[in-house]
Amino acid sequence: MSLGLGQKNLESHYVHKVNNIRMRGNTSKLHLALSGLPKFKGVEPEDLGHRIINAPSMKYLELAHDHTKYGECSDQLPMEIIIPSIHDKTLAPKGHHVLSAVVNNTAYELKDGWDQSNAVVLENCLNQLEEMAPGIKGLIVHAELLSPKDIEEEYGITGGQWHHGELTFDQFLMLRPIPGMAQYKTPIESLYLCGAGSHPGGGLMGLAGRNAANEIISKES
């Protein structure tokens, strides 16, 4: 984790703790532009506006995680899929759609590197989608896969970790992001943390921001 404030502005024990926050990303983002609405097996058309999860069994998830541990490209990738253009027609031309998927178990560090592996992982994703929604490959106008490396480079998120820090027992609750900063206030005067790296973590809930705002009100008013 980088210290944008400069290490000279923090005591050495804070610098040590911040530099040891684990930030290994293992999630990629898939974007598809489609010429039509795909048909998913077992999903009624009226339900396509909801989130579709590809995680058929615990064994499937375990095998996908095993590949991640060893920096390998898995052909079994758990995915969280949405088609936002169902709700917002301005996202695509009339009759067209966009699909977005969070692709889990894609290691930040791959044995062959992401430059060589991006196309392989993308093809694995498309093959899985074809199994779930036969004919979807024929609807693809454009496909993009943002790896953890891409997310780091394009959005400045260390390690491509979309929660801004791994959600593990030693980086959770009163230990997030580090002991001494769990109540959102930093050692820098009037500087508070309110992002996914603070309790209770990432996701579209805004609780870290709400909690930080309440802390500011209680301390600064």
Residue 195 is given by DSSP the state S
What tens digit of pLDDT does each residue of 114-158 get?
998 999 999 999 999 999 999 999 999 999 999 999 999 999 989
Q: What is the DSSP string of 10-44?
A: S-HHHHHHHHT------EEEEEEEESS----TT--
What tens digit of pLDDT does each residue of 179-194 get?
888 888 888 888 899 9
Give the architecture (CATH level 2) of 27-159: 2-Layer Sandwich (3.30)
| Amino acid code (one letter) for 114 | W
CA distance 75 to 56: 14
* Boundaries of every domain in the chain: 27-159, 163-220
Please say if the pLDDT value at position 195 is more than 80: yes
Q: Residue 100: exposed, middle, or buried by beta-carbon count in 10 A (0-12, 13-18, 19+)?
A: middle
Q: What pLDDT is recorded for position 86?
A: 97
